[in-house]
Structure 1
Amino acid sequence: MAINKNALIRYKTIDKCLQNRMRDWTLQDLIEACSDALYDFEGRDVNVSTRTVQLDIQMLRSDKLGYNAPIEVYERKFYHYSDPNYSITNIPLTENDMNVLSETMDMLRQFQDFSLFNEFKGIFNKLEDKIYTERHKKPAVIHLDKNTDLKGLELLDELYQAILKEVVLDLMYQSFKARVPQTFIFHPHFLKEFNNRWFLVGQRAGSNIVLTLALDRIMGVDYDFTVPYKSSEIRADQYYANTIGVTVLNDAQLQNVIFKVNKQNAPYIETKPFHTSQQLVEKHRDGSVTFQIRVHLNFELERLLLGFGDSLEVLAPRQLRRRMRNKFREGLKCYERN
């Protein structure tokens, strides 16, 4: 059950009052305490009715929110906790709560290379301590792929901060094809992750061409505060809408890629589509299935299709089918050598 912030403030206020056994608390006292707390929070008068606080007490007593507060009325008008040690802040975590928290923290740790993670370290440590004291640690049941040895990960946060603060970069970069590194001024726009590798997307100074730079090929990062930052209207989800991978060919014509997958592998592609445009074209009698996607033809697409080996046949377009055939022929030569 969702709780709005005002209700949560009232619950905490009532809880704090009932923990104070040095005075007697009437319903009117609780109403005034809740009104004062909401005024402190909102900065304005908030009308708290008798009915509202009565419903709050009823909710605290119930198990709907897991409180089961032992609120009693004595002398027909005063409220207190029958258990002097009770507080809604001392509610133990359920096993399901602890499992959810543990797995959530494990997933969030995948982003520990970003400084944003540091702001939550204290919270994580407290939660871990809470969980540990209530049960023995269990092994994680969710595992996310992450190559911690990947070169360039140490640059993630620095580049992330540069993008947020709109700082122009002076980069030293060497692609796998280049013999020597080159240095240039770069306007960073966003970071892209694909297949466990990270890329920096932006534009060189004086150019409108969008470049995608692999972090593991960045040899050095410096800043140039003398150059005004050039913002971009490009949005990552739109930029990669017609692309598999990171090689974007927006000046190329979109192609209808039609491919046939055998019976054994068709369910994998049907349940995990290659692209958002994927459509099922035909189911054949032998169990094979023909699919279609509408994308740009690029290196990553070819690698994806090649990865299915003899279980996938490209039917169209003709130039892609020809390239796939040639690659399989060259690959066969490798296995025919002694």
Structure 2
Amino acid sequence: MQRKNLFDGDSYKAQFALITYRWLMSHRWVSYADIMADYIGVTIKELPANLSNCNGYGELKKVVGTLKKAIADKLEKDVSECFEEEGNNRNKRFRYVGKDDDPLADMRNAKVINNLRQYWKFCQDSAGFFPKSWLEYFFHDCQDLLDMKAKRQKGEQVISSSLDRILTNIEYLPQLYEAITNKTVMEIEYKPYDEEQITLLFHPHYLKEYNGRWHLFGHAEGREPEFGYNIALDRIQEKPRERSKVEYVSAPDHFYDEFFKDIVGVSHMKDFPNKEHIVIRAHEHYIFKLIDTKPLHHSYEVVKPYGLYEDGEYAEFSVDVESNNEFIGRVLQMGAGLEVMSPPQIRKIFAKRVKDMALHYIEPGEKLQRMVPNTEEPLES
């Protein structure tokens, strides 16, 4: 009878089996505490004094015994010939002393194959989420692409995106992705907003999509900033060209982690380069729940839960961000439901935007009335 794959699934048993097997194949001494700490992601000192208080401890003890027997059976030996043990209870530890460094390779490979099958199925089902150009490029002349198209034609596609992925120059995405991974310098004909077309010698580092628009970040020779130069894909004028003889300049380690950390979207504003602690009031419970379930930024914190206060019914939350057009747009998107309370300089930015916007909706006669003050003297009685 074929033994069930000990490594398959997401149960305690499967997870403990994978961790234990990895320890054993290193030929190091290992204890139940080592395995549990590895599973939880803590040090042994951070574990409870009594291991039985840890979730899954009973399964762990069973798995170790089952795994040791499976290894011994595979090697056609007794368990005592394959393992050394010492200590007892919490201090009990054991190690593998067999000569085969991967006796359960068949089981592990079967799990890998199963994972790949699941991934393959996901790729097929999620064809509607990825841009068509990605699929056409990376699955070219591949049966998978034909299967994806067949699924779509039969109405069997089960994942899709709300955004329209047929965007200007989106077909350049695969080429730019490969330029990043292969560290290839590109020559790009680019037309910035409201400026003349320029030729950039560009060292691509990072691709990011925001609000349905793709941006390429990198180092543009002779341009500022040195790193994090932002190219909107829809403003590229022709297919980028490779410049293989130019030495590629990489971004500093973790540069883009820091670059995006304190902003919403993709841009930094020169007028407001510093992070601000911004407090925003939600005047409607519905609007507050929208923000609470989909925060504007990872720094989001509730300052006041929604409730009735002396000055009204509302909730307040804070974000620590640089002010940019994307952040302003996200807040104004909620209309009168959100109000920026502080700091004053950020509130003024929003006040001006709202006033300018309101002017477009004032009728001509009302505009004139607002522009000409009432100078008539009151009639004497």
TM-score by length of 1: 0.64
Equivalent position to 2:276, from 255, 262, 269: 255
User: Measured at CA, do residues 137 and 152 of structure 1 come closer, stay the same or move farther in structure 2, by a change above 3 Å?
Assistant: closer
Equivalent position to 2:172, from 125, 134, 155: 155
Equivalent position to 1:273, from 286, 289, 295: 295
**Alpha-carbon distance in structure 1 between the residues aligned to 2:147 and 2:261:** 41
Please list the CA deviations of residues 171-207 of structure 1 after superposition, one character each: whole Å capped at 9, or x if unmatched: 11112221x2111211111111111110000011245
1:104 CA drift (Å): 5.2
1:237 CA drift (Å): 3.2
Q: Is the 8 A contact 1:114 1:160 kept in 2?
A: no
**Alpha-carbon distance in structure 2 between the residues aligned to 1:218 and 1:45:** 56
Equivalent position to 1:107, from 91, 112, 126: 126
* Alignment partner of 1:186 is 2:202: yes
* Alignment partner of 1:288 is 2:307: no
Q: Is the 8 A contact 1:111 1:117 kept in 2?
A: no
**Alpha-carbon distance in structure 2 between the residues aligned to 1:240 and 1:253:** 13
* Alignment partner of 1:229 is 2:255: no
**Alpha-carbon distance in structure 2 between the residues aligned to 1:194 and 1:47:** 45
Q: Is the 8 A contact 2:278 2:340 kept in 1?
A: yes
Q: Is the 8 A contact 1:302 1:324 kept in 2?
A: yes
User: Measured at CA, do residues 181 and 170 of structure 1 come closer, stay the same or move farther in structure 2, by a change above 3 Å?
Assistant: same
User: Measured at CA, do residues 267 and 101 of structure 1 come closer, stay the same or move farther in structure 2, by a change above 3 Å?
Assistant: farther
User: Measured at CA, do residues 243 and 234 of structure 1 come closer, stay the same or move farther in structure 2, by a change above 3 Å?
Assistant: farther
- How do 1:63-82 residues align onto structure 2 when only pairs under 5 Å count? none
**Runs of 5+ unmatched residues, structure 1:** 8-29, 33-43, 57-64, 66-88
Q: Is the 8 A contact 1:242 1:296 kept in 2?
A: yes
Pairwise CA RMSD of aligned residues? Answer: 3.9
**Alpha-carbon distance in structure 2 between the residues aligned to 1:215 and 1:328:** 30
Please list the CA deviations of residues 137-190 of structure 1 after superposition, one character each: whole Å capped at 9, or x if unmatched: 565554312323311201111111111111111111112221x21112111111
1:126 CA drift (Å): 5.6
- How do 1:34-53 residues align onto structure 2 when only pairs under 5 Å count? none
Give the paired residue count.
256
Identity %, equivalent residues? 24
2:221 alignment counterpart = 205
Please list the CA deviations of residues 89-128 of structure 1 after superposition, one character each: whole Å capped at 9, or x if unmatched: 9xxx9xxx9xx98765232451442367417942465688
**Alpha-carbon distance in structure 1 between the residues aligned to 2:127 and 2:157:** 13
Q: Is the 8 A contact 1:103 1:140 kept in 2?
A: no
3-state SS of 2:202 partner: strand
1:27 alignment counterpart = none
**Alpha-carbon distance in structure 1 between the residues aligned to 2:293 and 2:178:** 37
**Runs of 5+ unmatched residues, structure 2:** 1-5, 9-13, 19-72, 76-98, 365-381
1:176 alignment counterpart = 193
Equivalent position to 2:160, from 125, 143, 148: 143
1:297 alignment counterpart = 323
TM-score by length of 2: 0.57
1:22 alignment counterpart = none
1:301 CA drift (Å): 0.7
Q: Is the 8 A contact 2:280 2:318 kept in 1?
A: yes
1:225 CA drift (Å): 2.5
1:324 CA drift (Å): 1.1
**Alpha-carbon distance in structure 2 between the residues aligned to 1:127 and 1:334:** 48
**Alpha-carbon distance in structure 1 between the residues aligned to 2:246 and 2:149:** 45
Q: Is the 8 A contact 1:314 1:321 kept in 2?
A: yes
